[in-house]
Amino acid sequence: MITINVSSKKLIDQAVDCYAFRFEQDFSYTRFSTDLKDFERDIYPDLKVWLQKSDFTGKKYEMRVLPVIVNEKLIHGIFIGMGKRDTKKVIPIEQYRRALAHTVRKAIQHKCETIALQLPSASLFGVTTHYLAQQTALILNMTNYRFSEFLTAKEEKNKEIFAVTLCTDAKNKATVQKGVKEGECIAHAVNKARHWIDLPPSVLTPPHLADKAKDIAKKGGLKLTVFNEKQINDMGMGGLAGVSRGSDLECRLLIMEYQVKKKNAPTLVFVGKGITFDSGGLSLKPPAYMETMKEDMSGAAAVIATMEAVAQLKPKVNIIGITPLAENLPSGKATKPGDIIRFYNGKTAEVRNTDAEGRLVLADALSYAVKHYDPTIIIDLATLTGGCLYALGPYYSALMSQHDDLADTIERASENSGERVWRLPLDDDFKPSISCEIADMHNISDRKYGAQTVCATFFLQNFVDDIPWAHLDIAGTAFNVPGIPYFRSGATGSGVRLLVQLAMDWK
């Protein structure tokens, strides 16, 4: 993990092996900031000429690296462009996030272990200093994440930055420190979710993830209830038990509770799909589609990790995290296409395709939330449909809700957290796509309706009664998102930043 020190001393007085500077596109060479002037004077007097001769203009993510020897020590200067201001005359904060991430990656590539950077003026991005500091700490830590547990070569294992010094004015120091603490806390949660998702599926099993949740509950003072497979069967949760039947491992249902003292505080329920491996069951997936199916517990990972963050950040709302955990595997005991199962709320479904298992486990979890809590809202997150990846690609999670207020709130949290969502039409016309003659519904939608991501949402709607509810399909955003420098191949921790933001901002 990275340590971030906030300092009100000058950038140039920091004893580090890397100094990083950011530039707005077409910056003025005659109006260098103080920290750049210091660097020019003390470390590299030819700075201006060098930047000019190398045609550096500060275009988006354009980078120059300057190695210099100072007192026999190798020092790097990293210079990166943040691009242009938008129509609101500010630099979009995402451009700052990515420029920062590119800087960190470059520093790691050059084996730097300590970096100093000046926190820019928040007004450049139209945000508060607190928020900018929070985002800085968050992105620094997200970029530094690596899944290296299974690498044996030492030089591969140790590619990390150890310390970052963030320089700021003395008057902002306390605010920046507070923001940094918050950002670190969210980043730890994001990275924890990523780590669980990246773990091989035979390691990260339902009981194993339940143990992780236990640690978190214990540390954070959260109430945790864990139901085992027998209890799940006894409660009549035919969806979760039915999916788990083909597996040699037990399923689990976890309920984590964060409660505030205030009476009548709103209660937000977050539900996350936790299929620790999705082979498709008897409706077996083709090999290529199965390769990354350890990612199918990304929704659950996001919810559990969010609970860890809220235990520390203490939003003023109650939060319940519910995660159904199971493996979806074929065997002589597995649920068969044609089987009819009964859910916790009494409704039934014919399973036509055992690969549409996510909705089955979510059905029981949502029913549980409705029966045992009085939720103000419910949001579920799931790697639910391959169709979502086709529709929106890896950059947008699909948001579906018939409650406009909730959808608006989620879109605001999306904007503030940097996790993008795109709303799809949850139009009643799609409702009949799951109708069935011999059970209340079936688990795959009729082909002629297309839009599998939307149709799957109507399946879930049967389990939430009239409670304001939104479904987020994170099938595209959870894993292997290309081109974003604070991610790597593998898990992204999709959903954590969004849910934490939503909880913190809830009015």
Instruction: Kindly indicate which of the ranges 312-320, 356-364, 409-417, 433-441 contains the residues binding ligand BES, using the contact rule CB under 6 A.
Output: 356-364
Residues of span 320-379 touching Zn ion by CB under 5 A: 355, 357-358
Contact partner, 353, from Zn ion, ligand BES, none, Cβ < 5-8 Å per class? ligand BES
Pairing verdict, β 114-118 and 18-23 = parallel
Distance separating alpha carbons of residues 194 and 60, to the nearest angstrom = 27
Distance separating alpha carbons of residues 295 and 45, to the nearest angstrom = 50
Does 387 bind ligand BES (CB under 6 A)? Our answer is yes
Does 473 bind ligand BES (CB under 6 A)? Our answer is no
Q: Least Å distance between CB 296 and ligand BES?
A: 5
- Helices 452-461, 358-372: inter-axial angle, 10-degree rounding: 30
Cα 269-275-277 angle, rounded to 5 deg: 160
Site string for ligand BES, 272-291 (x = CB under 6 A): ------x-------------
Residue from 386, 420, 446, 484 that binds ligand BES (CB under 6 A)?
386
Residues of span 242-281 touching Zn ion by CB under 5 A: 275, 278
272 or 358: whose CB is closer to Zn ion? 358
Pairing verdict, β 73-81 and 63-70 = antiparallel
22 or 359: whose CB is closer to ligand BES? 359
Instruction: Kindly indicate which of the ranges 5-13, 151-159, 378-386, 424-432 contains the residues binding ligand BES, using the contact rule CB under 6 A.
Output: 378-386
Residue 466's SS3 state is coil
What is the Cα 318 distance to its own chain's centre?
21
Distance separating alpha carbons of residues 124 and 360, to the nearest angstrom = 47
Q: CB neighbours of 452 closer than 8 A, spacing ≥ 6?
A: 385, 386, 387, 445
Distance separating alpha carbons of residues 379 and 306, to the nearest angstrom = 13
Contact partner, 386, from Zn ion, ligand BES, none, Cβ < 5-8 Å per class? ligand BES
Number of residues that bind Zn ion (CB under 5 A): 6
Backbone angles phi and psi of 24, in degrees to 5: -80, 150
Distance separating alpha carbons of residues 433 and 443, to the nearest angstrom = 10
Distance separating alpha carbons of residues 302 and 245, to the nearest angstrom = 25
Does 399 bind ligand BES (CB under 6 A)? Our answer is no
62 or 296: whose CB is closer to Zn ion? 296
Does 220 bind ligand BES (CB under 6 A)? Our answer is no
> Side chain identity at 157, as an amino acid letter?
K
Q: Which helix (H) or strand (E) holds 290?
A: helix 287-290
Instruction: Decide: 358 and 307 in contact? Cβ < 8 Å.
Output: no
296 or 350: whose CB is closer to Zn ion? 296
309 or 444: whose CB is closer to ligand BES? 444
Catalytic residues, which ones? 285, 359
Does 417 bind ligand BES (CB under 6 A)? Our answer is no
Long-range contacts of 155-159 (CB under 8 A, 24+ apart): 159/108
Partnered with residue 327 across adjacent β-strands are 277
Contact partner, 475, from Zn ion, ligand BES, none, Cβ < 5-8 Å per class? ligand BES
Does 387 bind Zn ion (CB under 5 A)? Our answer is no
Contact partner, 389, from Zn ion, ligand BES, none, Cβ < 5-8 Å per class? ligand BES
Does 296 bind ligand BES (CB under 6 A)? Our answer is yes
Q: Which residue in 252, 193, 204 sits closest to 477, CA to CA?
A: 193
Q: Least Å distance between CB 357 and Zn ion?
A: 5
299 or 315: whose CB is closer to ligand BES? 299
Q: What does the binding site for Zn ion look like in residue numbers (CB under 5 A)? A: 275, 278, 296, 355, 357-358
Q: What does the binding site for ligand BES look like in residue numbers (CB under 6 A)? A: 278, 296, 353, 355-358, 383-387, 389, 444, 452, 475
